[in-house]
């Protein structure tokens, strides 16, 4: 039997100290299904302590240059410990080790960008003197940290999405309380140790592990928390929004991402990228390619190339260097994907390749003959399934892309400038990616959705805007 080399046990991290608990939750290696870590369960008094220490820390000076220094130091430490972090991510998520290494590198980058942005927080001059009667006045705005930010994160990108919240929150001068996903808390707890080593002042970061339905309401009901930043499912996002009341909430939610492949596209390149971005992390990515609309003139060639690339994907142990796709997060999730695919097939869809489940693995699957009302098209699959359909007219395909509750990102392969211009204005999403799939993201770009995909943007500069309050200062002489 496969044996994990590292076993972890963590307490809660509150006010700069690790608090041990008798009762522990277990974290499974998603491939072997063996316990590889234990984490503590948060209770009400822990949330109160975390909030108290966050408030105390917030009342003490922590200059922009000091924030820059700590964030940069953690980025450096992350890089020098890349292998331990990558291994933890591979085990807790089931993500291939090569992808996990990429996540660690991107996390370091996210912290580095946050460090840089901590020195660039500024307001602007407002020409109040232009108003009649205000000739003697001058005005400018300044940005102030909101205070205490609670960050709640999902399982699929457990380190980088945590960095996208902690990095900007600290850069902006806030105290932050993190609640990582219960399936994948290990990499964020290892990151917490690096913040400790880098000298982050006590109370500026607390990490409270446990089940979302237990810890979430303890956080939202605490009125001293000033802001919630959440990445996860629309269902939980809505709950948090309802419970937060008038407090600021940033929501990064789901999507059923579409990508269009037009008749002038580089078919080879588009097929390669679609196969890659449909099945990265077993399709458990919020911008995973789920709906592909291909112009009917190139459909056959495109489909055969996507299937060819898909069939080459090597499934296996995430810790093996040549594994390209690992298991899903849990067997129930693989079973749910299986049900959705079977339901689509009963309604007339065809499985071009894949369509099989083995325990927690679901094979990379390409569906054709789909219609937009099947669950595999209309809802978020969050699994390794892509549905490919044809279109004839530009306007028709734009309407179909928009016929979705979601709007995070979309992709469009074409060099036809008038189609690009039409899509740019007509597709209702947070980001349109031309000559690539919906799955493109770098960490300093503004990232976030419209409709049920959420509100607010991430990317350190944009997250800092969400996590600060703008104040206008008017000087009268
Ligand atoms: P989830 O909503 O089940 O869980 C996310 C977090 O919320 C976890 O930490 C969980 O413990 C917590 N939670 C659960 N119930 C809660 C409650 N009642 N109150 C407060 N917190 C609670 O999502 P998931 O399954 O971990 O992640 C998958 C979802 O995340 C998908 O919909 C995916 O599209 C989305 N996602 C979005 C982005 C983005 O940037 N837009 C990125 C990654 C994932």
Task: Quote the tokens at residue 438.
Answer: 């919906």
Interval 345-361: pLDDT, tens = 999 999 999 999 999 99
Cα of 80 from ligand 1 centre, angstroms:
29
Q: How far, CA to CA in Å, does 254 sit from each of 64, 281, 356, 441?
A: 33, 15, 25, 15
Q: Indicate which atom in ligand 1 lies nearest the CA of residue 287.
A: 34
Answer for the pair 294, 389: CB distance below 8 angstroms, yes or no. yes
- The pLDDT mean for the chain works out to 97
**pLDDT confidence band for 23 (50 / 70 / 90):** confident
291, 257 contact by CB (below 8 A): yes
The rounded Å distance from CA 157 to ligand 1 centre is 11
Q: What is the residue with the minimal CA distance to atom 30 of ligand 1?
A: 232
Segment 208-267, tens digit of pLDDT: 999 999 999 999 999 999 999 999 999 999 999 999 999 999 999 999 999 999 999 999
Question: Given a cut of 80, is residue 1 above it in pLDDT?
Answer: no
CA 339 to centroid of ligand 1, rounded, Å? 22
What mean pLDDT do residues 278-300 have?
98
Distance between Cα 401 and ligand 1 center (Å): 24
CA distance 315 to 330: 16
In which band, very low, low, confident or very high, does the pLDDT at 7 lie, cut at 50, 70 and 90?
A: confident
H-type alpha helices, 13-63: 44-58
DSSP state for residue 42 in the 8-state scheme: P
Say which residues have a Cβ less than 8 Å from residue 407's Cβ, sequence separation at least 6.
255, 428, 429, 430, 449, 450, 451, 452, 453
Strand order in the sheet with 291-295: 350-353, 365-368, 385-391, 291-295, 258-261, 409-413, 431-434
Mean pLDDT for 22-34 is 95
Pocket test for ligand 1, best of 150, 155, 212 (most atoms within 8 A of CB): 212
Pocket of ligand 1 (CB under 6 A): 152-157, 161, 179, 181-182, 212-213, 216, 231-233, 236, 239-240, 252-255, 286, 380, 382, 408, 454
Ligand 1 mutation target, pool 93, 154, 158, most atoms within 8 A of CB: 154
User: With 50 as the cut, is the pLDDT of residue 197 above it?
Assistant: yes
pTM for this entry: 0.97
Q: Which residues are designated catalytic?
A: 252, 286
Q: Whose CA is nearest to atom 9 of ligand 1?
A: 181
* Average pLDDT for 14-18: 98
Q: Are 433 and 412 in contact (CB under 8 A)?
A: yes
151 Cα to the center of ligand 1, angstroms: 11
Q: Which atom of ligand 1 is nearest to the CA of 329?
A: 25
Tell how far the Cα of 287 is from the centroid of ligand 1, in angstroms. Answer: 14
CA distance 428 to 421: 13
What residue has token string 């076993």?
7
User: Alpha-carbon distance 104 to 102, whole Å?
Assistant: 5
Per-residue pLDDT for 68 more than 60? yes
Atom of ligand 1 nearest to the CA of 157: 43
Q: Please state the rounded mean pLDDT for residues 14-20.
A: 98
pLDDT of residue 2: 41
At residue 6, the pLDDT reads: 56
Beta 431-434 vs 409-413: how paired, if at all? parallel
Atom of ligand 1 nearest to the CA of 182: 11
Secondary structure (DSSP) of 279-320: HGGGG-STT---EEEEETTTHHHHHHHHHHHHHTPPBS-TTS
- For residue 215, the CA-to-ligand 1 centroid distance in Å is 13
Q: Quick one: average pLDDT of 406-422? A: 98
Q: Which residue among 236, 239, 241, 383 is best mutated to probe the pocket of ligand 1, counting the most ligand atoms within 8 A of its Cβ?
A: 236
- Residue 458 corresponds to which tokens in the numbers above? 């991430």
Ligand 1: atom nearest CA of 255 is: 34
pLDDT exceeds 80 at position 4: no
pLDDT at 3 > cutoff 50:
no
Residue nearest to atom 11 of ligand 1 (CA): 212
139: how many CB neighbours lie within 10 A of its CB? 17
Q: Which residue has the higher pLDDT, 75 or 23?
A: 75
- Is residue 459 helix, strand or coil? coil
In sequence order, what DSSP letters do the residues of 203-216 get, joined into one string? TSEEE--S-HHHHH
The neighbour count for residue 1, using CB atoms within 10 Å, is 4
């Amino acid at each position: 039997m496969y044996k994990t080399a590292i076993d972890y046990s963590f307490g809660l991290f509150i006010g700069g100290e690790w608090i041990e608990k008798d009762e522990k939750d277990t974290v499974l290696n998603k491939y072997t299904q063996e316990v590889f870590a234990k984490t503590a369960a948060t209770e009400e008094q822990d949330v109160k302590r975390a909030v108290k220490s966050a408030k105390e820390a917030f009342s003490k000076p922590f200059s922009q240059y000091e924030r820059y220094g700590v964030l940069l130091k953690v980025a450096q430490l992350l890089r020098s410990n890349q292998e331990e972090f990558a291994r933890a991510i591979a085990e807790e998520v089931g993500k291939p080790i090569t992808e996990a290494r990429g996540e660690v590198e991107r996390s370091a980058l996210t912290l580095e960008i946050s460090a840089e942005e901590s020195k660039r927080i500024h307001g602007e001059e407002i020409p109040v003197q232009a108003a009649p009667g205000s000739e003697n006045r001058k005005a400018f705005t300044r940005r102030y940290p909101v205070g205490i930010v609670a960050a709640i994160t999902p399982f699929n990108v457990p380190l980088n999405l945590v960095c996208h919240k902690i990095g900007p929150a600290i850069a902006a001068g806030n105290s932050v309380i993190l609640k990582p996903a219960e399936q994948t808390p290990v990499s964020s707890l290892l990151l917490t140790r690096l913040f400790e080593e880098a000298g982050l002042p006590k109370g500026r970061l607390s990490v409270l592990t446990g089940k979302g339905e237990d810890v979430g309401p303890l956080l939202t009901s605490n009125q001293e928390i000033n802001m919630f930043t959440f990445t996860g499912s629309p269902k939980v996002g809505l709950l948090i929004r309802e419970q937060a009341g008038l407090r600021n909430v940033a929501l990064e939610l789901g999507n059923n991402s579409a990508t269009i492949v037009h008749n002038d596209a580089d078919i080879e390149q588009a097929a390669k990228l679609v196969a890659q971005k449909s099945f990265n992390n077993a399709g458990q990515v919020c911008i995973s390619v789920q709906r592909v609309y291909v112009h009917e003139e190139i459909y056959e060639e495109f489909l055969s190339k996507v299937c060819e690339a898909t069939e080459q994907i090597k499934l296996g142990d995430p810790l093996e260097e040549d594994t390209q796709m690992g298991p899903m997060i849990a067997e129930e999730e693989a079973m749910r994907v299986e049900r959705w695919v079977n339901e689509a097939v009963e309604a007339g869809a065809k499985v071009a390749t894949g369509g099989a489940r083995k325990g927690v693995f679901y094979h990379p699957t390409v569906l054709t003959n789909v219609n937009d009302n099947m669950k595999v098209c209309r809802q978020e699959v969050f699994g390794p399934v892509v549905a490919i359909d044809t279109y004839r007219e530009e306007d028709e395909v734009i309407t179909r892309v928009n016929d979705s509750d979601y709007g995070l990102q979309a992709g469009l392969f074409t060099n036809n400038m008038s189609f690009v211009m039409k899509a740019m204005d007509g597709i209702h999403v947070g980001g349109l990616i031309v000559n690539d799939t919906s799955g493109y993201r770098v960490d300093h770009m503004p990232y976030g959705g419209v409709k049920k995909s959420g509100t607010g943007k991430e990317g350190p500069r944009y997250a800092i805007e969400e996590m600060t309050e703008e104040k206008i200062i008017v000087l009268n002489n």
